[in-house]
Structure 1
Amino acid sequence: MLNAYFADMHIHIGRDIFDKPVKITASKNLTITNILKESSRNKGINLIGVIDCQSPAVQLELKRLINDGLAYELEDGGVRFEEVTLLLGSEIEVYDDNCHGPIHVLCFLPSLVEMERFSEWLVTRMKNITLSSQRYYGSAKDLQYKVKELSGLFIPAHVFTPYKSLYGKGVQQSLKEVFDPDLIDGIELGLSSDTFMADKIRELHHYTFVTNSDAHSLAKIGREYQEILMKEPSFKEFNYALHQVEGRQIIRNYGMNPQLGKYHKTVCDKCLTHMEPDVTECKNCGSKKVVKGVADRIEELADYTGKEIPRPPYLYQVPLEYLPGLGPKTFKKLLEHFHTEMNILHNIPYESLLDVVPEKLANSIIQMREGKLAINAGGGGKYGSVATTD
């Protein structure tokens, strides 16, 4: 029997078991243990991908959780902790002779054994394996081959962001310039794009799209996510869903309106003034440093204008913390009454919300659930925001 589960497959680690940095820009309380607790108890997410598991200290913390009886490895891959399954992943920066700029990719392995083997291989091709998103010295295809040798999954990350992504600067026109297209298991869209934008590029049509948070703090877990039809949350079932095997599939993508992404618009890198994509000098400050927005880059690459490609619904949503008027105390009160953020986002009726929060905030939650919130667009490294209403 297949059931629907929520999944966020791109979560960073801020600190390891020795309080050493892993993702330097991530929150210090973003440890593997805290991620598992937050996802299970407060977020209500069933499947997570932690993408800094190549770090030996992260593997050690997972082993201690298992040895202490707090977690266990699943036969079909993944580590179960309470109500959440963790898939062991690694975000890697590729920049080989065929790349025009660095490209980030996500590699998922079925078990700790395979991840340890992956780490042993990476340590000879990476300067500091303990840190997140490090440069890999080798060819992109060799990395793909190694991931597949270890029965893993390979997914290009946030593929349209201006920096360190496949289409941002990594390739001129096609993923075939760098990767073996047959060894790609899915495409991560990133915060500044959605299904409709990505499907303007013909070569992406036969890949499953994933929407993930790229969380650098506990609060950002579940910022974007998907709902997946599976037998259970596990590595094997996630793999089946990416390839639509025997009914397994992503049935809904939940993501922020692309205009909320911090790279949606083309802007001046210095003063963040909005610029047309073909302008090379800022009329406001004279700077010639331009950050090309995701929407403009996709229009450059677009080669398909036909009928809409069959896809799961892409529903615009924001995390609760984005809503004006929802402070920490109110958020805590909501969780005390309704247990998890996923439950509040998807299930709690309007009348029940009114018992806990003011009418204006209850209306915002329902408008957000229905994708009707007004937003202010982001760009140039600055996130958009939910517009305030009277």
Structure 2
Amino acid sequence: MKTNKYFVDLHIHIGRDKYGKPVKITASNNLSLENIIEEAKIKKGIDMIGVIDAHTPAFIEEMHSYINNKKALELAEGGIEIDNVCLILGSEVEIYDHNCKGPIHVLCYFPTLKSMDQFSRWLSERVTNINLSSQRYYGSAIDLQHKVKDLKGLFIPAHIFTPFKSLYGKGVKKSLIEVLDPGKIDAVELGLSSDTTMAEQIEELETYSFLTNSDAHSLGKIAREYQQISMMNCNFKELAMALKQTSGRKVEVNYGLNPLLGKYYNSVCKNCLSDNITDSSCNDCGRSGIIKGVAKRIQEISNSSVTPVKRPPYIHQVPLDFLPGLGPKTLQKLLKHFGTEMHVLHYVSYSDLKSIIGERLASAIIMMREGKLEIKSGGGGRYGKINK
């Protein structure tokens, strides 16, 4: 049975709802549903997106309006089609379980608007403000997993290694079984500061598909990480099958930042963000207090005897706006000539790129494809940089 290949980004926030009220406080005001759809399809070339603030009543109301006015179609096998983009309805929840060392962010996805509405009503009794993103849920993480599964949903721990609000960063001492039911996890999201080579050192993750999503807080960050997935069609059921690697459906390729570019790769001083540190203090400013980086945390919990399973290739990819000298005007010129960012990133030849943006930037894009760019690592909330 022949499958098709689709570009997928499953972690996109809503900045403002249809009434102009904030949903994700730290997200751009321009992150409306309409703008997300336009950015994903026309500029980025993404086929399936996950909006993870779809639990908010205003979003649910907006989706009903889209469907009633024939601007969207709810698919029989789950998901909502808008302008040839498949929208997967999701919710990011911040878990405070008494078994947790610290808060954990998880992503919960549902096949239908009805099931998302049911989840929203259930969640509204357990959080302070159902109108906002990533709300604090004080309760059992396993109870949350059970609810997601009762509604035929998908449960995916988010950015699992970042120092704050993640499974391994703060949530558990050593193992996910301290907090979660491993049988009710459908995949794990790696986050910007890790990749497959790093994550596969954790033996208990070997049965899960790895996802690379953008966690976009602005339109431009959509698809800074994404994956290509083989499915028969773009819908929720096919996505679920791909995460379980069923009947030829699977994640084909992960495209993500080189972990060195992530904000939390290195351990750094809390005060001055220097990486000239010992385990407890800074050699530059002399202050104590270290933000432990993802690389260090994985080293602490890795299994030396683990035998990595065969996984899809992880392609280190640099978003176009990370490249020095490639500003908004140059990006628009590329899109005008070549269509979408996906096309520029993956398919346009060196000679065609050179004819539009010159030799230096064309070479940088090709070097990016081949993983040859030199990078200065990031940490403590500060992104890494491409060396000029």
State if a TM-score over 0.5 links the two structures: yes
Q: Which residue of 1 aligns with 2:268?
A: 267
How far apart are residue 275 of structure 1 and its match? 4.4
Q: Deviations over 1:251-285 (max 9, x none)?
A: 10000100100000000111001145x62122222
- Partner residue, 1:171: 172
Measured in 2, the distance between the counterparts of 1:275 and 1:47 equals 42
Q: Which residue of structure 2 lines up, in the alignment, with residue 321 of structure 1? A: 321
Structure 2 CA distance for aligned equivalents of residues 80 and 348 of structure 1: 28
Q: Does 1:250 align with 2:251?
A: yes
Deviations 1:125-154 (A, max 9, x none): 000011111101210000000000000000
Distance in 2 (alpha carbons) for counterparts of 1:96 and 1:306: 29
Q: Say if 1:275 and 1:102 are closer, same or farther in 2 by CA, change over 3 A.
A: farther
Structure 1 position 383 matched with structure 2 position 383: yes
* Secondary structure in 2 matching 1:136: strand
Q: Aligned residue for 1:25? A: 26
Task: Within 5 Å, give how 1:172-321 maps onto structure 2.
Answer: 172-276=173-277, 279-321=279-321
The aligned residue for residue 348 of structure 1 is: 348
Provide the secondary structure at the position in 2 that maps to 1:281.
Answer: coil
Does the 8 Å CA contact 1:255/1:316 hold for their aligned counterparts?
yes
Whether the aligned pair in 1 keeps the contact of 2:202 and 2:306 (CA below 8 Å) is: no
- Describe how 1:28-107 pairs up with structure 2 within 5 A: 28-107=29-108
Aligned partners of 2:64 and 2:44: how far apart in 1?
24
Contact 1:72 1:81 in 2 (8 A): yes
Q: How many residues align?
A: 387
Identity value in percent: 57
Q: 2: distance between equivalents of 1:83 and 1:254? A: 22
Deviation at 1:370, TM superposition (A): 1.5
State the alpha-carbon separation in 1 of the partners of residues 370 and 250 from structure 2. 23
Secondary structure at the counterpart of residue 357 of structure 2: coil
Cα distance in 2 for residues equivalent to 1:152 and 1:298? 29
- 1-structure distance, mates of 2:104, 2:72: 33
CA offsets per residue over residues 226-269 of structure 1, 9 Å max, x none? Answer: 00000111110110000001000001000010010000000011
Aligned-partner Cα distance in 1 for 2:330–2:243: 37
Shift in Å, 1:306: 4.3
Using the alignment, how far apart are the partners of 2:283 and 2:33 within structure 1? Answer: 46
- Measured in 1, the distance between the counterparts of 2:233 and 2:372 equals 32
- Tell me if structure 1 keeps the 8 A contact 2:56–2:120: yes
TM-score (normalizing by structure 2): 0.98
After superposition, residues 146-157 of structure 1 pair within 5 angstroms as 146-157=147-158
Superposed CA RMSD in Å reads: 1.0
**Counterpart of 1:71 in structure 2: which amino acid?**
A
Give the match's secondary structure for 1:54: coil
Distance 1:330 1:293 in 2: 34
Check the 8 A contact 1:8/1:221 in 2, yes or no. Answer: yes
- Give, as a single letter, the amino acid of the residue that structure 2 aligns with 1:136: Y
Q: Which runs of 5+ in 1 are unaligned?
A: none
Aligned to 1:356, what secondary structure does the other structure show?
helix
Q: Which residue of 2 aligns with 1:364?
A: 364
The code of the aligned residue for 2:47 comes to N
SS in structure 2 at match of 1:41: helix
1:265-317 deviations in Å (ceiling 9; x for gaps): 000111001145x6212222232221000000000001134443210000000
Query: How far apart, in 1, do the equivalents of 2:62 and 2:141 lie?
Result: 30
**Letter of the structure 1 residue corresponding to residue 220 of structure 2:** A
Residues 266 and 275 in structure 1, CA contact (< 8 A), matched pair in contact too: no
Q: Kindly report structure 1 stretches of 4+ aligned residues shifted beyond 4 Å.
A: none
In 2, Cα distance between the equivalents of 1:319 and 1:47?
A: 18
Aligned mates of 1:153, 1:275 — CA distance in 2:
41
Q: CA deviation at 1:66?
A: 2.0
Distance 1:95 1:162 in 2: 16
Please say if residues 108 and 148 of structure 2, whose CA atoms lie closer than 8 Å, have aligned partners that are also in contact: yes
Conserved? CA contact 1:32–1:62, under 8 Å: no
How far residue 371 of structure 1 moved from its aligned partner, in angstroms, is 1.5
- The 1-side partners of 2:336 and 2:136 are apart by 43
The letter for the 2-side match of 1:138 is G
Letter in structure 2 aligned against 1:7: V
Q: What amino acid sits opposite 1:145 in the alignment?
A: H
Unaligned runs of 5+ in 2: none
Q: 2 CA distance for matches of 1:102 and 1:288?
A: 23
Q: Distance in 1 between matches of 2:377 and 2:95?
A: 30
Q: Is the 8 A contact 1:199 1:304 kept in 2?
A: no
User: Paired residue for 2:112?
Assistant: 111
Task: Normalising by structure 1, report the TM-score.
Answer: 0.97
